[in-house]
């Protein structure tokens, strides 16, 4: 994977030439699949705004990270987040690791021309393709059709995709070729969420408890049950990222042994307090009162305290049952 930095620069600076493609929103259970089709034109990159007219976009999944290959073709280069999470060796052009959870296609809402991001009614995604050899007939190039990603919605909504012209729109491998982009199948497409947009499957062992405490979205963070209260990685590319740290401890301390009524105000009185219920259980007794956040939760946080993600450490398992990215 040589000369990555040079090819990435070509990708980012390719300009706002538009490609002849069809963008499609396809309802798929609780998710909206964002797909593309072409008539043979090869697309280098997409910059798209995706909005909903009700609720929010709460998660993104089913995208690849890194180079496109014959075994795993697709658009896994995310210009909006590349410099934030990916480290390239200046001498070899090699990338240490692509599989970093926070490396997603969703542009930061503070970036120029970007929408509000996950948890709001609109996101901006940027996705490019990098492959070797770099010509259009490369066996590693993305196909003429495919799925860019899937979005999880908080409720039934009409989904609309538009080009983000400020950030490039749709760019062909041949920047001299311009054509229109067909968005008819991506304009106000209704996506009906099942089970009221549940973020945890009804088959999950914690589903009943999740419902009982009000279906907190944070329980759908992949590492919440291991001590990650906010779903966000801290650290940097040079020293490594970790999911369980001081910010999660702050949430736990604020919610520590807050008794449920009638013995206290209850966990609902603490902002995001339920997110520190890592063990997803109650402690206490009927005589003195029950509380959601206590020693069982602290033990989980301590077990994963500052555990670095690969390649700097073993990482915290993302097996808590959800796939929500905050």
Q: What is the pLDDT along the chain (326 residues), one digit of tens a residue?
A: 444 544 444 444 444 444 478 999 998 766 789 999 998 889 999 999 999 998 888 888 889 888 899 988 999 999 888 877 777 777 777 776 676 767 889 998 888 999 999 888 999 999 999 999 989 999 999 999 999 999 988 778 899 999 999 998 999 988 788 757 999 999 998 887 655 457 887 778 898 999 999 999 999 888 999 999 999 889 887 888 999 999 999 999 999 999 999 999 999 999 999 999 999 999 999 999 999 999 999 999 999 999 998 788 888 888 887 777 76
| pTM as predicted | 0.58
Same domain, 145 and 249: no
Same domain, 100 and 160: yes
Among candidate residues 142, 163, 193, the one where a domain is terminated:
193
DSSP lists the bridge partners of residue 122 as 51
pLDDT of residue 12: 46
CB-based burial, 184-216: b 16+ in 10 Å, e otherwise: eebeebebebeeebbbbeeebebbeebeebeeb
- Domain assignment present for residue 211? The answer is yes
Same domain, 110 and 158: yes
Same domain, 184 and 55: yes
Among candidate residues 193, 225, 250, the one where a domain is terminated:
193
pLDDT of residue 300: 97
Please give the tally of structural domains in the chain. Answer: 2
Phi-psi region of 188 (alpha: psi -120 to 50; beta: other; left: phi over 0): left
Neighbour-count burial of 218, counting CB atoms closer than 10 A to its CB (0-12 exposed, 13-18 middle, 19+ buried)? buried
pLDDT of residue 6: 44
At residue 207, what are phi and psi to the nearest 5 degrees? -60, -50
Same domain, 182 and 259: no
Residue 104 DSSP code: -
- Domain assignment present for residue 311? The answer is no
pLDDT of residue 30: 65
pLDDT of residue 9: 47
Q: Around Cβ 162, how many Cβ atoms within 10 Å?
A: 16
Same domain, 143 and 211: no
The domain in which residue 288 lies consists of: 207-303
- Domain assignment present for residue 184? The answer is yes
pLDDT of residue 96: 66
Same domain, 27 and 176: yes
Q: Around Cβ 136, how many Cβ atoms within 10 Å?
A: 12
Same domain, 287 and 166: no
Among candidate residues 169, 193, 217, the one where a domain is terminated:
193
């Amino acid at each position: 994977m040589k000369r990555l930095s040079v090819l990435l620069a070509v990708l980012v600076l390719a300009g706002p030439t538009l490609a002849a493609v069809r963008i499609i929103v396809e309802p798929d259970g609780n998710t909206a699949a964002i797909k593309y089709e072409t008539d043979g034109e090869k697309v280098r990159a997409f910059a798209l705004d995706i909005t909903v007219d009700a609720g929010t976009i709460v998660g993104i999944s089913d995208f690849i990270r890194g180079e496109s290959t014959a075994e795993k073709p697709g658009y896994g280069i995310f210009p909006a987040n590349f410099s934030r999470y990916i480290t390239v060796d200046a001498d070899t052009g090699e990338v240490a690791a692509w599989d970093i959870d926070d490396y997603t296609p969703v542009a930061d809402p503070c970036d120029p021309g970007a929408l509000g991001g996950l948890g709001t009614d609109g996101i901006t995604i940027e996705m490019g393709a990098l492959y070797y050899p770099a010509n259009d007939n490369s066996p590693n190039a993305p196909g003429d059709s495919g799925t860019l990603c899937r979005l999880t919605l908080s409720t039934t909504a009409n989904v609309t995709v538009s080009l983000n012209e400020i950030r490039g729109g749709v760019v062909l491998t041949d920047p001299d070729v311009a054509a229109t982009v067909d968005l008819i199948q991506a304009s106000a497409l209704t996506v009906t969420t099942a089970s009221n947009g549940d973020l945890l499957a009804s088959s999950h062992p914690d589903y009943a408890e999740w419902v009982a405490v009000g279906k907190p979205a944070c329980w759908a963070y992949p590492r919440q049950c291991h001590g990650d209260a906010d779903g966000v990685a801290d650290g940097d590319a040079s020293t490594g990222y970790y999911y369980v740290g001081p910010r999660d401890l702050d949430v736990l301390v604020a919610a520590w042994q807050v008794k449920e009524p009638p013995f206290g105000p209850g966990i609902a009185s603490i902002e995001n307090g339920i997110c520190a219920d890592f063990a997803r259980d109650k402690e206490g007794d009927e005589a003195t009162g029950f509380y959601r956040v206590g020693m069982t939760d602290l033990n989980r946080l301590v077990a994963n305290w500052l555990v670095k993600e690969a390649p700097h450490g073993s990482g915290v398992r993302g097996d808590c049952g959800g796939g929500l990215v905050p």
